[in-house]
Every structure is written in C-alpha cells, then in structure tokens.
Amino acid sequence: MTPEYEIWMRNRVIENMPKQEQTSTSTMQDRLRKPHSELELLQEHTRKEMTKWGRERSNFNHLMHLEKLKVDEKDGQLKSLEKEKENLKRNL
C-alpha cells in the first residue's frame, strides 16, 4: 500500500466513526442498547393487531346477539299475531 492510500484509509475510518456530542445526555447503556430486531417489531405489531381484532370480534358478537334477540322478539310478535288472526277467523 502506498503512504497516500494509508492516510486516506485512516481518515476514512475516522470520519465514519460516530462522534459523541458533548451535550449528549444519553448514557453509555442507552447508546449500547441493541435495537429491536425486525422480528421483534413484527411480533409486537401482530400482538397489538390481534388484541384489536379480538375486541372488534367481541363487539361484533355482542351486536349479533342483540340482533338475534330483536329477530326472536319480532318472531314472537308475528306468531302472536298469526294466532290472533286464526282466532278471529274462527270467530267469524
């Protein structure tokens, strides 16, 4: 290697090293903390979505139950009216 190349390479390495800001309030532990992997981020996102979907499904099931009660009530009213109609026909 030529001396120029060695100087260029040394400067290049030094320039690529992150400089610690003197006003930085982060601790060494914060700087060394391993960032979350893509898998961990996806797992967290999936867990949140599943929780949200569970709530939505629960709400949907509750609404379906209420609608079924309304249908049952209307069905009961319809049967009652049909009996009344039959009684009126018999009495005529």
**Model pLDDT for residues 12-34, shown as the tens digit of each residue:** 766 665 665 655 566 777 767 76
Q: How far is CA 26 from the centre of its chain?
A: 30
Confidence bin at 9 (pLDDT 50/70/90): confident
Report pLDDT for 11.
Answer: 75
Residue 67: inside a domain, yes or no?
yes
**Can you give the pLDDT at residue 47?**
92
Q: 89 in a domain, yes or no?
A: yes
Structural domain span for residue 67? 46-92
| CA quadruple 32, 37, 41, 43: dihedral, nearest 10 | -130
Residue 81 lies in a domain: yes
**Does a structural domain hold residue 76?**
yes
Is position 6 within any domain? no
pLDDT exceeds 70 at position 86? yes
In a domain, 24, yes or no: no
Domain count within the chain: 1
3-class SS at 65?
helix
So what's the pLDDT on residue 7? 81
pTM, two decimals, is: 0.42
Residue 14 lies in a domain: no
Query: Tens digits of per-residue pLDDT, 30-74?
Result: 767 767 788 888 889 999 999 999 999 999 999 999 999 999 998
Q: If we measure between CA atoms, which residue out of 74, 53, 72, 75 comes closest to residue 64?
A: 72
**Residue 17 falls within a domain, yes or no?**
no
The CB density around residue 49, as the number of other CB atoms within 10 Å, is 10
